[in-house]
Structure 1
Amino acid sequence: MKKMELYYKMKDLERKGFSQRQISKKLGVGRNTVSSYLGMSSKQFIEYIHTLETRPKKLDPYREHILGWLREHPDLTGAQVHDWLIERMELKDVTQATVRSYVKDIRERYGIPKVKNQRVYAAVPEFRPGHQAQVDFGQLKVLTVDGKERKLYCIVFILSHSRFKYAEWLDRPFRTGDMIRAHENAFHYFGGMPEEMVYDQDAILAVSENAGDLILTSEFARYREHCSFIVHLCRRSDPESKGRVEQAVKYVKNNFAKNRLFEDLAAWNESTLRWLARTGNHNVHHNTKKRPAEVHALEKPHLRKIPSEFPIGNLTDTSITRTIHKDNVIRFSGNRYSVPAGTYRSDGKNVAYVEEKAGTLLIRLKPEAPPIATHRIPEEKGLVVSDENHRKRDVSKSTLLAARITEAFADKELIGWYLDELRKKYPRYLSAQFERIEDAVRAHLPYVDEALEKARLLNLVSANDFRDIASSLARDSEEKKNRKTTGWVSAYEHLRAAERTEDYYASVLGGNGHDQSGN
């Protein structure tokens, strides 16, 4: 709101009987400003505005620089302009408040609207010194010095007590070896290690969780054992568990990286360290009201000693992961590579493990599983590298389903026989049959081996029959938990035949044959 317009609004509210406190609250300005403005006549206020316009200001020598930055990047914040003045103009004796006020005046005078980007902070418990650090990843597209777009990836560490931060960047996604190197760099930057490290459930770190038991990738498991720190995994975007580092990632991206031109990775990382020293760890933290660097000096004696150097050079790249997209491709080093049709699942994790070996890309669904796709890696970029066999949707889909189903059964030979019988009986509806078998496996996993035995014994070769048997076993097991059973129970007494309509039996007796889809 311009000053003259604000003055007349205040005068109008005063005439209507509003108190200075009410005017301050209604217009969102300070009480002192209201008192000062209302104490002047119109003539006095115009003279006051004139003196503001003609009075030299401390930042006037940098006006053209600031104006150029705002015109090129309208979303620049006052805090970022303050950091740029220190970095690029070597201006040290100016406060953020002075810069914000000056930037606001320039925006009003030259009609450059402010783009608001409010940061949200989660209330999380405080931790004792040296107890915990949080780790997270970020990515950002930046412009290079020659006007091209480049995607960069960062990893950010923050000590939960002091909010002391460390960050570094790569021009490709992080792999396990990169993450371990970053840990080593962060620990040396911190001057020690915390007791606990908090992460997302990231595929380069953790394969899965099994009833609360953590299963780490082999490389990171070795590193964790070497360093002897506690690992805590949490859900993505979980402010209760790692809100500090999520905000730190936003801070690094928005205050340091946003609107900065990229020249090369080494220079970019060096600039990051300088930014951390002058801004990221120097500025007063909004919650603690202290400078992270000063609190870190007190926290540092509580950090654990860094162990001997870890042999990073021996790490493999088996933990490189890529997302399987809806069109059944993965992206790797500037190209897209096909996987068999049906690999993507709307209800699945859709993570593929990739390995680059002698100019060949191997794609797996599990780190130690056989490859589902193998491609030669071309020298060119921007290509779609595909295998014609991957387009045969029905065959490929049923093959993938069969592989997933087989993993769930203890008797591989028996499930192999059962799937072969389904292939013979339902060739036209094979994918539908396999999907229903897989649904039954998901719903009744503890009972599928017994259900398979019953289906073989009764010669019931149908996805619906298998589902009914597994469901019946699960239901009876639940009932037995709720009541005591006595006497001898027939081995098959608990089985229930699938219910069929009268039309179904009429069609069978009439010679029309079985519904081949199994319905």
Structure 2
Amino acid sequence: MLAMPEVNYIKHLRENEDLSINEIVRKTGKNWRTVKKYADGEVPLETLPFNKGGMMYEDGFGEIVDCWLEEDMKLKKKERRTNKKMFEQLRDEYSFKGSYRTVCDYVQHRRPKIKEERSTRYERLEHPPGEAQVDFGNMTVVKDGAYKDIKILILSFPYSNAGFAYPLPAENSECFLEGLKQLFKQARGVPTHLRIDNLTAAVLAIGKGEKRTYTDSFLRFQSHYGFEVQACNPASGHEKGNVEKKVGYTRNNFFVTAPEMEDFSQLASWMQVKMREDRNRPHYEKGIAIEQLWIEDEKQLKALP
């Protein structure tokens, strides 16, 4: 257990200087899990004696607040409910008779616990719900009676194996960002983490480990949508194996006989239908319909800006 000055310093780096967990680890020299534990709000239980009684627990109001806290974790901090807003909603919509202080005390206790429960839940999974991978694939279509090579940007979610696809004329930065925007719309949310390889459309330079220099346009895009980037190591395609398999699956199942393409808009609509229908098949390992697993993925997506 860390001393409180160390805990406060980690919280300061996370909340005020907006450092990532890895950056705080490098700055403090502490264990990654320890930094994660304190940076995201957990306070040692000895400092928070709390009586699990009263109307928040006994009358079910706490369950409502827990749902709000879970929902708000998908939003940017400035868009989340304040304690005052939660109190007012409980009072006006659920006839809550307690005090504002009661709500504040409950939130102070529950918010770090919910974060810890969420983190523990996901650490047991190799691919937690809400995480995605993205890559381009080369496909052939028939346009005006002739074969034409195009790019398809594929977004896949390893937890459920759900996939989304969007056709593009090129593999440059403008196409990459427009494709991601359209794929997020199709998914009705933003992945919590997005794994990419070293696409020139997003990466200017490769450093040691996960250190990358990204293009300004990609950094602006990332800041706007609020996802975390997970960079693949050079020549390590296995690190995004799910999306690479999804590219091959899409080619083998939808493009072996080249489909006719009127324009990119028509092809995009056709691909969206095909990928949605494909979610009705069982997951290759779990034996459950991809559509059913996708529900769990979708629950964890961040809200679209």
Q: Which of 172, 178, 183 in structure 2 is aligned with 1:186?
A: 183
Deviates more, 1:227-236 or 1:286-295: 227-236
CA distance in 1, matches of 2:297, 2:197: 25
Q: Which of 185, 191, 194 in structure 2 is aligned with 1:197?
A: 194
Q: Partner residue of 1:154?
A: 152
Q: Partner residue of 1:287?
A: 285
User: Structure 2 matches for 1:64-103, cutoff 5 A?
Assistant: none
Unaligned runs of 5+ in 1: 1-124, 308-519
SS of corresponding position for 1:299: helix
Q: Partner residue of 1:296?
A: 294
Change (3 A) 1:239 1:289: farther
* Cα displacement (A) at 1:208: 0.7
* Cα displacement (A) at 1:222: 1.1
Instruction: For residues 58-86 of structure 1, give each alpha carbon's deviation from its aligned partner in whole angstroms, at most 9, with x where no partner exists.
Output: xxxxxxxxxxxxxxxxxxxxxxxxxxxxx
Instruction: For residues 220-272 of structure 1, give each alpha carbon's deviation from its aligned partner in whole angstroms, at most 9, with x where no partner exists.
Output: 01111222221122146635311100000011111012213323222222211
SS of corresponding position for 1:300: helix
CA distance in 2, matches of 1:227, 1:194: 9
Change (3 A) 1:188 1:142: closer
Change (3 A) 1:231 1:142: same
Q: Which of 246, 249, 254 in structure 2 is aligned with 1:248?
A: 246
Instruction: For residues 153-212 of structure 1, give each alpha carbon's deviation from its aligned partner in whole angstroms, at most 9, with x where no partner exists.
Output: 110001121111100112x21222222222222222222222211011011110012334
Contact 2:191 2:227 in 1 (8 A): yes
Contact 1:142 1:258 in 2 (8 A): no
Code of the residue aligned with 1:162 in structure 2: it is S
SS of corresponding position for 2:274: helix
SS of corresponding position for 1:180: helix
Q: Partner residue of 1:262?
A: 260
Does 1 or 2 have the higher relative contact order (CA < 8 Å, sep 6+)? 2
Percent of aligned pairs sharing the same letter: 21
Change (3 A) 1:183 1:263: closer
Contact 1:164 1:296 in 2 (8 A): yes
What's the TM-score, normalizing by structure 1?
0.33
In the alignment, structure 1 residue 163 sits paired with structure 2 residue 144? no
Contact 1:193 1:306 in 2 (8 A): yes
CA RMSD of aligned residues (A): 1.9
Change (3 A) 1:145 1:255: farther
Contact 2:128 2:159 in 1 (8 A): yes
Contact 1:237 1:246 in 2 (8 A): no
In the alignment, structure 1 residue 274 sits paired with structure 2 residue 273? yes
Contact 1:145 1:261 in 2 (8 A): no
Change (3 A) 1:246 1:192: same
Contact 1:135 1:199 in 2 (8 A): yes
CA distance in 2, matches of 1:243, 1:237: 12
Code of the residue aligned with 1:267 in structure 2: it is Q
Code of the residue aligned with 1:210 in structure 2: it is G
What's the TM-score, normalizing by structure 2?
0.54
User: Structure 2 matches for 1:37-436, cutoff 5 A?
Assistant: 126-130=126-130, 132-144=131-143, 146=145, 148-170=146-168, 172-212=169-209, 213-235=211-233, 238-264=236-262, 265-279=264-278, 281-307=279-305
SS of corresponding position for 2:149: strand
Q: Which has the larger radius of gyration?
A: 1
